[in-house]
Structure 1
Amino acid sequence: MERRKFIRNSALGLGAGVSLTSATMSSKRLNEEFEVGKLPREVWIATLTLTKIDAVNHQEMIEKVLGHMEDIVNYKPDIICLPEVFPFFHISEKISIKDVAEKPLGKITRRLAEFAKKHRTYIICPLYTVEDGKYYNAAVVIDRAGKVLGEYRKIYTTEGEMGKGVSPGPLDPPVFKTDFGTIGVQICFDLEWNDGWDKLKEKGADIVFFCSAYSGGKAVNTRAWQNKFCVVSSTISGTAKICDITGEEVAKTGRWERYWAIAPINLEKAFLHTWPFCQRFKEINAKYGRKVKITNFDEEEWSIIESLSPDVKVADILKEFGMKTHEEYIKCATDMQKKLRG
């Protein structure tokens, strides 16, 4: 295979651990095999970077992004995340926010909703929205049926945005219930404040999608392990990535994955403080064997208990062996400290 072809094919998702080069396996058969082995809380996530994608106007940008989305439908993504106000970056035309902002479903969200319905996927669609004469930098969440689940409005807008008429959103970010778990959204400058992330944690978010103009770097990984939820970044420029609850990068864009990061995340897992619960790990291994995976982080003293079997729930394991999640363990210690201080 010539180098150019190899690079093009590689760019469609080797980070997900799946090769697209097999000429003997049809797309239909490939998808069927993926579904057969899929765990109950396994979520296939796709996220885009707009790096090297340019257009004359926002209509052309939307068409180009939809074209790139078509490139990854064979993975049958459960959810696709797009970058911050993606139709209006990397374009030649001058736009007025008042002219392009919409109330969903509008022209832009309707196109993405049609895609969501056709391919049975959720979509995080960032754009400008309007309500009662106020304009927002927002992300509209669209479900598998092409219906709008709701809208997140960027809490911490920049001075430049506010100078152009963009209003900051409410301080209390919403969460959205999906068929695989609870999700939330943060946008770009929100990375610099803790409270939006903290509130999403309190509301039980399993995954938070970070739609941004820039990559965010290690701060994105940190938000994941600090809050014990997955964080998925989608960027206008730079790296887009998928981080597990430990902050580890499961997949990211780069030289060989130019536009997309695509990977599965298993949400059936718990984050523990290793001591004292490590004393029960041998018993868990003896009973469940390869149905349960325990991963230890020696320096941090974190442990992750993960179910690899449809018939094993992590909550049941914790109850059976008298173990607490990291949050529960810290809360119990904090409550006892308060009590003893009087």
Structure 2
Amino acid sequence: MREVTVSAVSGAPVEVGLDASDAEMFAAVTERWRRRLADVWADRPDLVVLPEHAARPLASLDPRRMLPVEQIDDFTRTYGERLQGFFAALAAEHATHLAWSGYRVDDAGLLRNSTVVYGPDGNPMGAPYDKNYPTMPEMHRNHVAPGREMVVVDTPIGRLAPTICFDLNYTEALERLAAQRPDIILFSSAYHGGFMQQYWAYTARSWFIGAIHPPNLSEAYSPVGDKVASSTNYRYHFTKRINLDYRVCHIDEHAEAFADLKNRYGRRVKIHDPGRVGVVLITSEDPDLPLAEALETAGIVDVDDYFSRSITARNQTEIKPALLERGCSPLSASLSV
């Protein structure tokens, strides 16, 4: 068992007047997030995920009344580092990991839409993740430069994979991310994405924590696509304990092994069947029992290993024509592997 407590905290963007100064915008944004994050500190989360543009002020919640691009650019270049410092200090104050998402200026002077994971000491962990697939208005109007790498950040609590909003539409991004075997996908967004959240969680065999602007709900999904937590129309946050000592395994050829696993370890392991997809989520419920050890003892392989073996068998299998002899069914076949 390797449990961590995760929180997603969202809220409507901060509205400011068109004539607001950079200092006024900074004060409004930091005060808003100080109050919003106060909702989860009592739960002592190990990880907090914030939505896309967590610190970007708006002239109105109506997207047709945006602040001028030049004003946002100036605000980011003037107060961007101080804003990141504000969230870094909160991570250190509460000894947690905090995924901040918003505009930043990189070392080359380019504007990026990024997620930075701050550690319990307030320092950035790993490289910032730059949104790989900004929308066309972001690139053409706001001059946001796209990222090129899907980033996984190694931390003491697990392998964290930030993604941002429009990224969710691109299976190529998912494939690159899934190959790195993250433990938790951190989805900071202004749009929900619907069933694509479950698809990413299942395909990456990863927990999925979404922090999304209202009126959309922020939600969490298990590696088999079950919704396990959600914000509501009243509360723009949730906190959930998740178990990172897990494996996704296919049910085929594992019935006896699953029974053996339960008979050996009883309540020390949990086998959850979400139904309809042919896989189960197995977790160790005992901090002294590494799941990998238990699965090896029972002869259980994870779903990707099983699928790989199935592909190998397919490629090595020759189906011979049925022998149309007396008493031999036309459907009979000789199978050689």
Task: Name the Cα RMSD after superposition.
Answer: 2.1
Structure 1 position 318, deviation (Å): 1.6
Distance in 1 of aligned mates of 2:8 and 2:26: 20
Distance in 2 of aligned mates of 1:49 and 1:304: 28
Corresponding position: 1:83 with 2:51? yes
Distance in 1 of aligned mates of 2:300 and 2:212: 38
Match of 2:145 among 150, 164, 167: 167
Mapped contact 2:217–2:233 kept (Cα < 8 A): no
In structure 2, the partner of 1:33 is none
Give the alignment of 1:1-342 within 5 angstroms: 39=1, 41-51=2-12, 54-56=14-16, 57-92=25-60, 94=67, 96=70, 97-102=72-77, 106-131=81-106, 132-149=108-125, 150-163=127-140, 164-170=142-148, 172-237=149-214, 238-256=216-234, 258-340=235-317
| Paired-residue identity, % | 25
Distance in 1 of aligned mates of 2:76 and 2:139: 15
- Taking a change above 3 Å as real, the CA distance of residues 298 and 137 of structure 1, as seen in their structure-2 partners, is closer
Mapped contact 2:51–2:211 kept (Cα < 8 A): yes
Distance in 2 of aligned mates of 1:103 and 1:138: 17
Structure 1 position 337, deviation (Å): 2.7
**Counterpart residue type for residue 77 of structure 1:** P
Mapped contact 1:102–1:128 kept (Cα < 8 A): no
Distance in 1 of aligned mates of 2:153 and 2:79: 16
Question: RCO (CA 8 Å, sep 6+): is it higher in 1 or 2?
Answer: 1
Structure 1 position 236, deviation (Å): 2.0
Larger-gyration structure (1/2)? 2
The two structures have a TM-score, normalised by structure 1, of: 0.82
Structure 1 position 90, deviation (Å): 4.5
**Counterpart residue type for residue 228 of structure 1:** R
- Taking a change above 3 Å as real, the CA distance of residues 291 and 104 of structure 1, as seen in their structure-2 partners, is farther
Structure 1 position 94, deviation (Å): 2.4
Distance in 2 of aligned mates of 1:304 and 1:48: 26
Alpha-carbon displacement from aligned partner over 1:247-286 (angstroms, at most 9, x marks no partner): 1111111135x11011111111111111111212222222
- Taking a change above 3 Å as real, the CA distance of residues 103 and 282 of structure 1, as seen in their structure-2 partners, is farther
Mapped contact 2:258–2:298 kept (Cα < 8 A): no
Distance in 1 of aligned mates of 2:253 and 2:58: 52
Could you say what secondary structure the match of 1:148 adopts?
coil
Alpha-carbon displacement from aligned partner over 1:101-153 (angstroms, at most 9, x marks no partner): 35998111100111000100111111112221321111111111100112000
- Taking a change above 3 Å as real, the CA distance of residues 59 and 340 of structure 1, as seen in their structure-2 partners, is farther
Structure 1 position 199, deviation (Å): 1.6
Structure 1 position 336, deviation (Å): 3.1
Distance in 1 of aligned mates of 2:178 and 2:270: 24
Mapped contact 2:14–2:56 kept (Cα < 8 A): no
Gaps (5+ residues) in structure 1?
A: 1-38
